[in-house]
Structure 1
């Protein structure tokens, strides 16, 4: 399972550990991913995602899962999130 946020696309970053003697060794910075269940109000269903804590705050700040998915570009979303986004657009067009 890859360490990528399904809603924001945030993944691992590479950097250095720097010692007191200024020796540099490679290291990896991983996002803080959590398994969460988010509720879609328009579809009246809940969906499980693996989301970074930063992404979770962003979703709540933008008014919930529905608004976040409709505003976010497709290249950042995972395949499961894109599927939910397509369902949202279909439900929005039917209403």
Structure 2
């Protein structure tokens, strides 16, 4: 299981530990990933995703999972989220035609 946020694409970063004597050793900074269940209003189902806490705040700020996926570019999203976005857009367009 890779340590990458499925919504934002945020992954590990590489940097240095710097000691008091200014010795530098490589280290990694990992994102704070959480397993969460998010509700899709358009599909009427819950979706389990591995999301960073920053991504989770962004989803809440944009008014839910559906709005976030429609607004976000496909390059940042995982394959599962791209398929979910496609399903949501299809459902929204069919609902707009029916109304």
Alpha-carbon deviation of 1:9? 0.2
Q: Give the structure 1 partner of residue 24 of structure 2.
A: 24
Q: Matches of 1:86 and 1:42 in 2, distance apart?
A: 12
Residue deviations 1:3-54 (CA, integer Å, cap 9, x gap)? 0000000000000000000100000000000000000011111100000001
Report how far residue 72 of structure 1 moved: 0.2
Could you tell me the TM-score, scaled by structure 1's length? Answer: 0.99
State how 1:38-77 maps to structure 2 within 5 Å. Answer: 38-77=38-77
Structure 2 regions of 5+ residues with no counterpart?
Answer: none
Partners in 2 of 1:4 and 1:14 — Cα distance?
Answer: 14
Alignment partner, residue 37 of structure 2: 37
Secondary structure in structure 1 of the residue aligned to 2:63: coil
| Higher CA-based Rg | 2
Aligned length: 95
| TM, length-normalised to structure 2 | 0.95
Runs of 4 or more off by more than 6 Å in structure 1?
A: none
